[in-house]
A and B are shown apart, each in its own frame.
Chain A
């Protein structure tokens, strides 16, 4: 089976193994089949040597969290993310991964009203204890009503996305208040850009993702306002449109995308100078979402922005190893996902922090389900700002 992978990208791995300690699934299983080096060797065996695509080989690909921690560890800069996305696209195309029910569920993310209505129903069902939230990795409580999104100016877009807008709109509103405190007029994207397609590309649905990317770009065209994103996974996905679509237009679009912390870090003085702020009396551990650290490589902006607003910010000592959330991974590979999470919760415990700041909704839900007090970094900033406001 030809996986459609770029030959030069595929041969770039020299099997040195420096990725192994940065791969969450290898660290847990100790098996080459669950390592980046092993997965690449299997891709090569299939594409170049005609090896059959066995169930075990598919498991090897499905167990990858797509955290891309291997990419920042690789001295030869092997683009593992592209290789894995390409492999999954070929496997999905052949009907070997991503079953029909999963495709239907992912399709729903594109339909904003349906998603919001569905989320409200789900929230209701959770309150009535009709849904086993723990087993499904869902939050123990979800909002029944969402305060409306509002536009306060046209300096920047705030990308609101799909699930995050439905489940964590409070975070968007907090982020918007912080941006406004830094002097920016904000327009939430809302229905103009329903979903970035990150989960779709992870599941190998390439054509669908491309269509979604075009829709998002069309919705946010007409000016060159920065597009700020408060979900690391969505930010990484939007920044990759240039590669995904391969057009100048897409590359120009991607250049407008910033993680919200990345943007604020440049405007920290602005944010701090408005009024004196009392830092919140908490010690916060910063969890680096993989798609902020390994893909966008912008994770250092989070402690920079958060620092002035809380008593203490501590880094975790696990070299940015993935928490196991991985978008839909925590549901699809629940057992492995939880084993990976245990290492993260142990690192949080070692840090002595009482609050964890996570700049990605998937990580945040996943870690909260393990009983941690998880907030978006800008929720904490907003809290500090509003405390000094009163």
Chain B
């Protein structure tokens, strides 16, 4: 174990916070080595949370597998001890999907971060699930290709987490979300068997199990290798910053661009409060006096890009844009994107806590939805920062607050509920890309019928009949199999559990 030279044998005999885990820990250590297992209170505490406000997770021993064999070994040991398994990438999730429930064995996949093979003939690459999204595109750069889905957290988040949540990103407007970019997945199932879902050469016979697995939030098995599709880098890119005095003008511009038959690579919108939060950090020249800005990117062959950007410019001006700026070079473009992609992290410039929603609404109703969001938030005396993938109507209203203020958390939850219900009433969906996790689980019944949910539970059970894989997520308990049986009672005694 790194850094263990002074207290070398301590890690081998890690004192369990929960003594009944001693046998489990000993078996895990025997299976994958002492340097890959942590069971101390600090490690478990940190493995219990992700980037959401959900803080009720409760991790058992934390393993850092280095190979598919390690994962198989951990799953088998956990099963033998009657324990569930919860995988974890970079912990940037916003819905509690990686928050372990009932002290499962946590598999932190960060050490499985290698690019295994670049297969240019088939236009794909095999990667380990712990590889960071941006590291993958950087590693592919010499080949003139990249991995297209680019969540805002792409500098940190892992391919495995993207796979689990079927993540999107600004450029998914034109290129499609994760599911369109995953060709095949090697998966360790709950009985420790290893299967490959999907096929890299041909359309596989039978059901599209790969499709069922993508977005299953760790509940169908642990991905240990992923074949991702490679996307050729566009020969030309034009990034434009459109500024508006009125949020509704910005929203109208979005609809007009799509209506004109242009499919930009990305259309992102930020409101004034969001721009103010990021500009200090990004230094990208975002105007702090505009009510809303759109970041529009068109790419493709250079002739087409020139025409499309001119048309976007015209549409924006017809919709009262106060300025249209085109990024002059790669540096300016990078700074504009850096600003957009730091939005969540920059919230603490405004308030120390935030609760983020991820609903999707029909693009044509954007203006109406935004007005309703501002109205709801005002009524609850809260602050909201709006930043979202405008092109596909995927909203990310960020309710910013200070949890130290008495009563504010209740108001945040009340406003959040209203925003979700309003979005669903507008014909929208519960989540665009962040997943359901535990955080949005209770809303599933609002969106799906009991029959739908039972079917989803059955699909899950066909992968994992004993519900040992990341139990307690997505499906409301009534529609889930014996999840609760797999969960140990949480012994929430004190901060260190």
Contact = CB atoms under 8 A, between A and B. Distances in A.
Given A30-B111, A335-B2, A18 B348 contact: no
Nearest to A26: B110
Nearest to A13: B348
Contact of B352 (A14, A333, A334, A339): A14
A340 to B, nearest CB: 10
A75 interface: yes
Contacts of A42: 42, 45-46
Interface string B87-117: 0001110000000000000001011010000
B198 to A, nearest CB: 27
Interface in B208-224: none
Interface stretch (B249-257, B310-318, B338-346, B450-458): B338-346
Given A16-B92, A20-B90, A63-B3, A31 B38 contact: yes
A164 interface: no
A339 B348 contact: no
Interface in B133-164: 134-135, 153, 155-157
B348 A51 contact: no
A78 to B, nearest CB: 7
A56 B41 contact: yes
Interface residues of B, number: 53
Contacts of A52: 41, 496
B404 A11 contact: yes
A14 B153 CA distance: 13
A51 B496 contact: yes
Contacts of B110: 30-31
Contacts of B91: 15, 17, 32, 37
Given A18-B156, A21-B156, A75-B281, A11 B45 contact: no
A269 B344 CA distance: 44
B302 interface: no
B2 A78 contact: no
Given A16-B153, A32-B91, A77-B280, A38 B46 contact: yes
A153 interface: no
Given A50-B495, A51-B496, A20 B156 contact: yes
Contacts of B382: none
Contacts of A49: 495
A111 interface: no
Interface string A142-164: 00000000000000000000000
Interface in A1-37: 7-8, 11-18, 20-21, 28-33, 37
Contacts of B353: 11, 14
Nearest to A44: B495
A275 interface: no
Given A14-B51, A14-B354, A77-B280, A54 B345 contact: no
B130 A18 contact: no
B345 A51 contact: no
A60 B42 contact: yes
Contacts of A333: 3
A76 B108 contact: no
B440 interface: no
A244 interface: no
B113 A18 contact: no
B348 A12 contact: yes
B142 to A, nearest CB: 12
Nearest to B112: A30
Contacts of A11: 348, 352-353, 402, 404
Contacts of A33: 38, 42-43, 46
A17 B90 contact: yes
Contact of A59 (B3, B46, B347): B3
Contacts of B3: 59, 63, 333, 335-336
Contacts of B402: 11
A37 B352 CA distance: 14
Interface in B326-353: 342-349, 352-353
Contacts of B50: 15
B95 to A, nearest CB: 14
Given A17-B90, A33-B38, A45 B342 contact: no
B47 interface: yes
A339 B46 CA distance: 23
B293 interface: no
A45 B91 CA distance: 18
B42 A14 contact: no
A97 interface: no
A60 B402 CA distance: 27
A13 B354 CA distance: 11
A131 interface: no
A31 B43 contact: yes
A32 B43 contact: yes
B130 A14 contact: no
A18 B43 contact: no
A77 B346 CA distance: 8
B434 interface: no
Contacts of A304: none
A13 to B, nearest CB: 7
A339 B2 contact: yes
B344 A16 contact: yes
A52 B10 CA distance: 18
B27 to A, nearest CB: 21
A18 B495 contact: no
Contacts of A45: 45, 495-496
B475 to A, nearest CB: 26
B126 interface: no
A76 B45 contact: no
A18 B342 CA distance: 8
A44 to B, nearest CB: 10
Contacts of B111: 30
B286 interface: no
A56 B42 CA distance: 6
A41 interface: yes
Contact of A76 (B42, B43, B346): B346
A27 to B, nearest CB: 10
Contacts of B49: 15, 41
B50 to A, nearest CB: 8
29 contacts: A12-B352, A13-B348, A14-B347, A14-B348, A15-B49, A15-B91, A16-B153, A18-B155, A18-B156, A18-B342, A18-B345, A20-B156, A21-B132, A21-B134, A30-B108, A30-B111, A31-B64, A31-B108, A41-B45, A45-B496, A52-B41, A54-B41, A55-B7, A56-B41, A74-B281, A77-B280, A334-B5, A335-B4, A336-B2
Given A16-B156, A75-B346, 9 more contacts: A8-B352, A11-B402, A18-B156, A31-B43, A32-B46, A33-B43, A42-B46, A75-B282, A75-B342
